Structures are given as structure tokens and as C-alpha cells.
Amino acid sequence: MTRILLTTLNARYSHASLGLRYLLANMGELEGQSALREFTIKQRPIDIAEQLLAEEPEIIGMGVYIWNARESEELVAILKQLRPELILILGGPEVSHEWEEQPIVALADYLIPGQGDLAFATLCRRLLAGDRPTGKVVHPQPFRLEQLQLPYRYYSDHDVRHRVVYVEASRGCPFKCEFCLSALEKTATPFGLDLFLVEMDALYARGLRQFKFVDRTFNLKVAQSIRIMEFFLERMDDDLFLHFELIPDRLPEALKATIRRFPPGSLQFEIGIQSFNPAVQTLISRRQDNLKTEANLRWLCDESHAHLHADLIIGLPGEDLASFAAGFDRLVVLKPHEIQLGILKRLRGAPIARHTTDHAMRYQPVPPYNVLATDCIGFADMQRLARFARYWDLIANSGRFHATLPLILGDSPFERFLALADWLYAEVGQTHRIQLPRLFSLLYRALAGPLRGDPEAAEEALIADYARSGQKGQPPLGTTQGNSAFSTVKVKRQLRHHQAAK
């Protein structure tokens, strides 16, 4: 009999909730009466409610995050309308701070703010015994990581084969970057490494080959980092892929030597740059040696096979358009494989809120709480930068325009790409659902027109990228007036070159 359901709405079906699996792993004697049910934000809350209520649970525990907050609120409201006696317990980062003002918390019965790995089971025991706490907010007691049962056996065989499997070798972060909830934590604490590697070995034996580490600072303790990487090097095969988040200015020689041993396609590093402006870094309590960061990125690009995903944040307090442009250009020169441009979000509880008045920070009032304007960047320019970020994903981060991108960026990457973004939006009025053939045509028109590029060089580059992308036939016309921008002869020649390269 299932008396307790653990549920959340993931952003995508391919994501599997690590948090819910921690709860299930630590239910103790209640595990046999508990079950995990995952959904996505694409599903209608009313349909999710139908499925949950069909199992007639007594308690539902729900993980609430910034990406599912609105859908979760609707779901909770429906559940309470249909089954007022159903006990709803909330947890997760979105409801762990500033909960007094949240309608979803008012609708629910209980809230466990913070790390509820053990507190959830404790509360369920009380409730099932008829001992209902009088207060809505149940604060978890401190615990040590070694008290936890690890969750990895609760990834199903289907998860292992088809979904992103998240793992963590440590929790917490010693840094105090104010845009992040990790700023509220005291330090990073590692899990017992021997037991952790036993669990990783079990996942590997079950066929898992893509491990996504969620540690904020994987390379904080280098000896542990190297041991984990050595563990995977001993099991290296053609399908193994590892994702780690690195501190950008900490890359000692011993770690470099280990990274060098990973073959192409096996290693991805997410590297948070966020800003290159020292004044902005100081303002948001971020410690970062910019020169070491640049040197490490350069080394990773030149001396390793790792795929590099670097992050910049748009809209930080104290950062104006010129400062962000300088940081962007500085990062482009280092040539990471992807540059993720994220709009600043005011996460509930994050210390970034202290700058709201002094820097006239204006945020979207509903999730995901993106910054709309600051005293340095007005709303109109923030909208331009948001479109810049989306088009950068479509063009640069997609990897489809390897030959064309240098022509777009030239010697002034930010200035030229912003001009492209402004022109694209004026032409199509949207940042999504641009079909790939049309995008090729638009880029040719932009290079031959407002970007003042060499039309012949643009044609050659786009033909090469079209062939490389695997598209059949010849690229589309370059103008809407019917004039061919691409010659059939050149298309066939580029396709032959592409096939010969294979």
C-alpha cells in the first residue's frame, strides 16, 4: 500500500530528480509504503493531480524549484480542492526562503525548508502516528553526510539508459557569490569517497556512461578530484562522458596531468566566469583571479580534450553595457566551446537582494525572476541582451556555424553580434522556432548587408557549414527576392570535401 508519494515536476523528461531519490533512500521503515512519481512542466497540473489521487495517498511530498513554481502552485491548489484532507508537504529551494509571502505555502500543510533528506521521513512518521505539528514550518535538524543513505540505487534501469543521472561527491560551497543560494552555506563537505566510488561502480556496472556531477566546486579538494577522475580513467570506454563544474582559477599541475589523460568526447567542464569586472566581483562577494582564470581556460583549450562550457551573467549590479561587452570579448578570445549567457535571477533568499535599492534592480515578479533593469542597464537594453543570448545559443553554441561565426564576430565580437541580434529581431520578430534553412539564409543576408562582410566569403563559409550540419541538398536562397545566394557547383564541391574529410 502506497501511503506516501514523493513528486516533482522536472523541466524535461530527460531529467531525473536527485533530491527525490535522497528522500526515498532515507525513508527507513516507511520505504515500503512510499513511491516516487516524476512529471514534467509540460504536463497539465490537472492531469498530474488525477494520476496522483488515483493512488489514494495520505501524504504527498513535493519538490518546488524555480522552473516549476507556477505549475506546482496550480497542482497544489487542485489537490487541495479535491482532497482537503490530503497532507501536502513542500520542500526545495524555491520555498525554502521568503515563504511567508508564497501562496503555494499557504495552500500546503507543511514546509521543510533547506535540506530535508532526513526531516521528511521524521515528519511522515509523526503524521502517520497522528502527531501533527502545530506549526506549518518544520525546520530540519542538522546532520552529517555520513548519516545519509545514498540514493543511487533508486535510479531505475530506464533512468540509467535514457535520462540524465545526477551524482554528487560533495555538498555546499565555500564561496559567497551573492547571486547563488550556496552563498548561505558555510563550506563544501565531501561525502565519504570510498562508499561514493562503490556507488559509482554499481551505476557503471548497470550500464551508466554519462555522469553529471552537481558539485559546485569539484576541484576544491584536488586530491579527491584526482581520485574520482582516476576511478573513471580505469573504466574508460568510447561511451563514457563526465560533467564537472570547476572553480576557474584553481587548476594545479597534478590536476592538469590527470585531465590530459582523458580522450576527446569524454570530459566536459562547466566554468563559471560570471564577470571579468573586478569592481563587480567585489560588489557581489565573488573571489576570482582573472589572470589565472584566463590562463587556465587557455590551457584547457590548448592542452586538453575537454569540452568547455563557460558562463557569463547579464545584469549583475554595477555592470553596465560596456563592462559586459568587454568581459564577453575577453571570453570569446579564449575560445571555450560554449558561452552560456544567463540573465541574472533573484533567487529567493540569495544575498543579491541587498543591492535592489542601491542599484535600482527591477526583477520579473514571477518565476524565473529575471532582472528587467538596473541603474546601469535599462529595460530596453536588457531586452536586447536577452535576445543576444538566445541568438548566441542558436548560432554560436549550436556548433553549426563553425566557419561562419568568425566572419560574424570579426575583431569586435560583442558589437557585431549585438548588431546581428538587433537585425535578426527586426527581420523575424522572434527568437525561437526559426527553421535552420531560414537561419542560413538570414545569416547570409546579414553578412552581405548590415555586417558589411564579404559576400563571397560568407557564401563559402555557409556552404561549408551547411554541408557539415548534415543537411541534404543545397542551402536556401540568400534573399527573399528570389536571387540565388549559393551556387549549385559550390554546394557540390563543399559536399565532396566534407565527405572526403570523413
Is residue 286 domain-resident?
Answer: yes
pLDDT of residue 185: 87
The 10 Å Cβ neighbour count of residue 295 is: 14
Are 387 and 393 contacting, i.e. CB atoms less than 8 angstroms apart?
no
Q: What is the CATH number of the domain that holds 107?
A: 3.40.50.280
Q: Let me know whether 218 and 331 are in one domain.
A: yes
Domain membership of residue 278 as a residue range: 155-377
Q: Let me know whether 465 and 491 are in one domain.
A: yes
Please give the single-letter amino acid code of residue 90: L
pLDDT of residue 471: 78
Q: Let me know whether 23 and 130 are in one domain.
A: yes
Is residue 209 domain-resident?
Answer: yes
- List the grid coordinates of 253: 599541475
Q: What is the pLDDT of residues 67-97, one digit of tens each?
A: 999 999 999 999 999 999 999 999 999 999 9
Report whether pLDDT(375) > 60: yes
Last residue within a domain, chosen from 377, 401, 427: 377
Q: Let me know whether 419 and 502 are in one domain.
A: yes
* 27-34: average pLDDT: 98
Torsion of CA 466, 472, 475, 480, to 10 degrees: -130
Report whether pLDDT(474) > 80: no
Number of domains in the chain: 3
Q: Let me know whether 89 and 163 are in one domain.
A: no
Measured between alpha carbons, how far is 200 from 197 in angstroms, rounded to an integer? 5
Of the chain, the percentage scoring pLDDT greater than 90 comes to 92
Is residue 413 domain-resident?
Answer: yes
Last residue within a domain, chosen from 109, 143, 177: 143
What's the mean per-residue pLDDT of the chain? Answer: 94
Q: Let me know whether 266 and 400 are in one domain.
A: no
Distances (CA, A) of 310 to 57, 334, 379: 44, 10, 25
Is residue 148 domain-resident?
Answer: no
Q: Let me know whether 127 and 230 are in one domain.
A: no
Please give the single-letter amino acid code of residue 51: Q
Q: What is the pLDDT of residues 90-99, one digit of tens each?
A: 999 999 999 9
Q: Let me know whether 355 and 288 are in one domain.
A: yes
* 44-64: average pLDDT: 98
Report whether pLDDT(484) > 50: no
DSSP 348: T
Q: Let me know whether 373 and 386 are in one domain.
A: no
Gyration radius from the chain CA atoms:
25
Q: What is the pLDDT of residues 207-248, one digit of tens each?
A: 999 999 999 999 999 999 999 999 999 999 999 999 999 999
Q: What is the pLDDT of residues 149-178, one digit of tens each?
A: 999 999 999 999 999 999 999 999 999 999
Q: Let me know whether 367 and 408 are in one domain.
A: no
313 in helix, strand or coil? strand
Distances (CA, A) of 395 to 344, 421, 463: 22, 11, 15
Task: Please state whether 349 falls in left (phi above 0), alpha (psi between -120 and 50) or beta.
Answer: left
Of the chain, the percentage scoring pLDDT greater than 70 comes to 95
Residues with Cβ < 8 Å from 69, sequence gap 6 or more?
A: 94, 104, 367
Are 494 and 464 contacting, i.e. CB atoms less than 8 angstroms apart?
yes
Measured between alpha carbons, how far is 449 from 158 in angstroms, rounded to an integer? 50
Candidates 452, 389, 451; CA nearest to 420 is 451
Q: Let me know whether 412 and 442 are in one domain.
A: yes
pLDDT of residue 186: 83
